[in-house]
Amino acid sequence: MAERLVGKQAPDFTMETAFGDGTGFGKVSLSDYAGKWLVLFFYPLDFTFVCPTEITGLSAATPTLRDMNCDVLGVSTDSIHSHRAWINTPIDQNGLGQLNFPLAADLTKKVARDYGILIEEEGIALRGLFIIDPHGELKYQVVNHNDVGRSVDETLRVLQALQSGGLCPMNWKPGDKNLEVK
């Protein structure tokens, strides 16, 4: 059985990245996000079909997320060179176009393994999305089968609920009251 991660310090990482604008490469660590919220999401492979719908959807939502003191980092087991090529491929040719966040390369598969979403026999990650708070605590995780994309709206709603600081009932949305314990 997989170890529980929610409520604990997020597994540390350092990975190489391809910049979202397609111009170059960098390196990122969990500590780079100290003091901010982080939406860390994994996807199976570059140049596939469901992945670009999620990646470009999260890219479009990134300005809203940044207004909420939240950064975004995408991760797969592909190389930074594959990431850069995918970013620099036009959308009408199954590319991503420019993104508002970097894509990280988990070539060793250590990060996907540490987050409990590596499909060992295939060497790729499941669709895992994690929200990490400004202190490095993992507050939320959702893992999907690779055939089903995730919801940007639900990611925003959950982040808003976490940031509300209270108890949020089912279907809570911004403007709703938090639960009061009597």
Q: Tell which residue, 36, 126, 39, has the closest CA to residue 77.
A: 126
Task: Give the pairing of strands 118-119 and 124-125.
Answer: antiparallel
Q: Tell which residue, 10, 74, 70, 8, has the closest CA to residue 36.
A: 70
Joined together, the tokens standing for residue 37 give 């919220």
Per-position b or e across 126-158, b if 16+ CB within 10 A of its CB: bbbbbbbbeebebbbbebbebeebbebeebbbb
| Beta-bridge partner residues of 14 | 29
Distance CA 165, CA 37 (A): 14
Question: Which residues are identified as catalytic?
Answer: 51
CB atoms within 10 A of CB 5: 19
